[in-house]
Structures are given as C-alpha cells and as structure tokens.
Homo-oligomer: A and B are copies of this chain.
C-alpha cells in the first residue's frame, strides 16, 4: 500500500490539488482529495493515511496510523483542550497564513471606529444627510497590539504604513519583534493600557490568555480608547466590556470573536453601544490569497516531511500554539 496523504477540504481549487499532488508524487506519496459529502471514501483513506490536511477535525477520529496532522486553521485551541483528539505520536502543524486577511479586517474596523462609521450608518438608515462628527485617524495613532505572532506583525506593518505614531507589542516573553516600536511582556501590560488609544488583541486561545483583558484592565482604559479583538473571544471579559461600552467608559470596540460562538440571540453583546460585531469572518478561507498561502504552507512542510526534516509550522499542544 502506498504512503497516503488525506486532504479533506471544501475550499481548494483545481490548481491547489495539482500542486499538492505533484509535491506528494515527487516524494513517492499519493495525495487523495475529499470534500463534504464524500465521508465514506474520506474515512477509508484517512484510516491508513500517514498525513492528514484539513480544516475540519472530523477526519482525525477516522485516522489510525497518522504521523502528521496539518491544521488548515491557525488556532488549535480545540486540540489543546482535548489532546486525545490527536492520535498518539502524531505531530501537529498549523497554518499561519491568516495575517493578511485579518490585518485588512483590523484596518477596516479600526478606521470604522475612528471615523464614527456606526453613527453615520445609523443616520443613513434614517435617511439623514448629516455630517460633522469629530473623527480620528490611524495617522499619529498610538496602539497596543497584544500578540506579536504572524497576525500581530501583519497588523503592525499596516498601521505603520498608514502613519501610526507607535505600535507597542505585548507578548509573553518580552522578546523583541521587528514590526513593533516597543515590546512589553504581558505581565507588565497594565503599564501600557492606560495610555493606549487603541488596544488590539490577536492572541491564541490558551489557559494563559483567558480574560487577559479582564474587568480590572478594562477599567484602566481611557474614555476614548477603542478595543479590537480578532483572536479568540475568551481573551476578553465580555460582560465587563459590554458594560463599559454601554456606560460610555470606553469609546468603542470591534469584536470578530465572541463567547460562545455562535452568539445566542439573547446575548447582550448584540446590542452593546458603539460596538462593531462581525461573525468570526476576519480570517477564514474566504480570500483567495489565504487559500493559496495555506496550500503553499502545507506543501512546504510536506517537502520537509518527505525529506525527514523538522516541520516548520509545528505546534505544541501543551502550550496551545
């Protein structure tokens, strides 16, 4: 039996399949491709496959001899929470390719908040042609970026390109990262929150990031502060943030993630004041660029795998990313 790669993904286009098939064949492996609705065939393939590449976790349950699982998502918090989902001895990699699309989302909602777009949209829905609200700019802005991984760096690069005055990165170790003007370790985050015009969160969902922006830290923020979360909903005390928005203790927020997802229809977050809420759409596979980079990332590691080299995008499930 040949060494098989099971690819279970709806979003791939023919040129992606060709590329994966070619890299596999060059290494003496066979790639097989399945979509939603082809579960029986996918299950049969996954059972004996060495490698699995998917966004869905479902095929993990089918695998019996898996050596490597490549997650098409960046976040693997679900696997960290339930490591028994991954077969024993199986290496896990993720796909750090969402920076561009998440950074474009972040620039969009940052400008929408700074330029009072929710207020103008409300006026236009009432057919009122009335301008004049004071607005702000990314030019000259001082922002705090919590999370300095691929996503945080892509965001910082764009904020700098648009003239931001300072982007302070917050990460676990305090190690220097080129995209940022300054790095502060997360245990000193309380020192930078009171000065921030904008706080952006792009951290993985781990034990250490749960309620990182706690009620106490929300209370440190300026009245004109804006909060953006494009990482995991768990990173913010959502109840405290909703209250701060409704009480006008901060100026606004844009959340692409929430707890839980999907958000129940009766959750107070839906109607919080000065909130731009989006249904977890900043990343995903909806941008062609992201799909292309995702396949490139997998193929790069597939070449590593075939050559017996370490995989570039390996994650540590105990650490959570």
A residues at B contact (CB < 8 Å): 100-101, 104-105, 107-108, 111-112, 114-115, 117, 120-121, 123-124, 127-140, 158, 161-163, 258, 261-263, 265, 270, 277-281, 284, 286-289
Which residues on the B side are within 8 Å of A278 (C-beta)?
117, 120, 124
Q: Check B162–A129 contact: CB distance below 8 A.
A: no
- Known: A107-B107, A107-B111, A124-B278; 18 extra A-B contacts, CB below 8 A, are A100-B163, A104-B137, A104-B138, A108-B108, A112-B112, A127-B265, A127-B270, A129-B261, A129-B279, A129-B280, A130-B279, A131-B279, A132-B284, A133-B281, A133-B286, A135-B286, A158-B162, A161-B162
Please measure, in the bound complex, the distance between the C-alpha atom of A278 and the C-alpha atom of B100, giving whole angstroms: 27
Set B133, B284, B287: member contacting A136, Cβ < 8 A: B287
With A262-B129, A289-B137: A115-B124 Cβ-Cβ less than 8 Å = no
With A131-B281, A280-B131, A289-B140: A270-B124 Cβ-Cβ less than 8 Å = yes
Q: Check A115–B104 contact: CB distance below 8 A.
A: yes
Set B100, B104, B127, B137: member contacting A287, Cβ < 8 A: B137
Which residues on the B side are within 8 Å of A137 (C-beta)?
100-101, 104, 287, 289
Set B104, B129, B130, B279: member contacting A128, Cβ < 8 A: B279
Set B100, B111, B163, B286: member contacting A108, Cβ < 8 A: B111
Which residues on the B side are within 8 Å of A289 (C-beta)?
137, 139-140
Which residues on the B side are within 8 Å of A161 (C-beta)?
158, 161-162
Q: Check B100–A139 contact: CB distance below 8 A.
A: yes
